[in-house]
Amino acid sequence: DAGVIQSPRHEVTEMGQEVTLRCKPISGHNSLFWYRQTMMRGLELLIYFNNNVPIDDSGMPEDRFSAKMPNASFSTLKIQPSEPRDSAVYFCASSLQAGGPHEQYFGPGTRLTVT
């Protein structure tokens, strides 16, 4: 298996633009997590899905952030409009749900810079 795949790896955009980050979880995993990592705030959980259904989105900072998981093999995190303070590394992770506890497998991350 190729592991968790994220795209793009790097994104530079101007304030006000829409940004879409993509994630393909490991095949067979039914939990998916979106995290944001910054020096100031560390690693923060934004939202997670079980069986494609959003379970907890309390970590989503504002209405500008939205996430979808249309099927078991694809998820997106969208920021619209983007702001400079959204600059961070965004990670997607996946794991098994049933029969836990289970480790999470992280993707390589998307480094977002908003100017």
Partner 1 sequence: SQQGEEDPQALSIQEGENATMNCSYKTSINNLQWYRQNSGRGLVHLILIRSNEREKHSGRLRVTLDTSKKSSSLLITASRAADTASYFCATDGAGNMLTFGGGTRLMVKP
Q: Does 105 bind partner 1 (CB under 8 A)?
A: yes
SS3 for 86?
A: helix
Measured at the CA of 91, the angle between CA 56 and CA 8, to 5 degrees, comes to 125
Q: Does 102 bind partner 1 (CB under 8 A)?
A: yes
Q: Judged by CB, which is closer to partner 1: 16, or 61?
A: 61
Q: Does 25 bind partner 1 (CB under 8 A)?
A: no
Q: Which of 17, 27, 51, 56 binds partner 1 (CB under 8 A)?
A: 56
Q: Does 42 bind partner 1 (CB under 8 A)?
A: yes
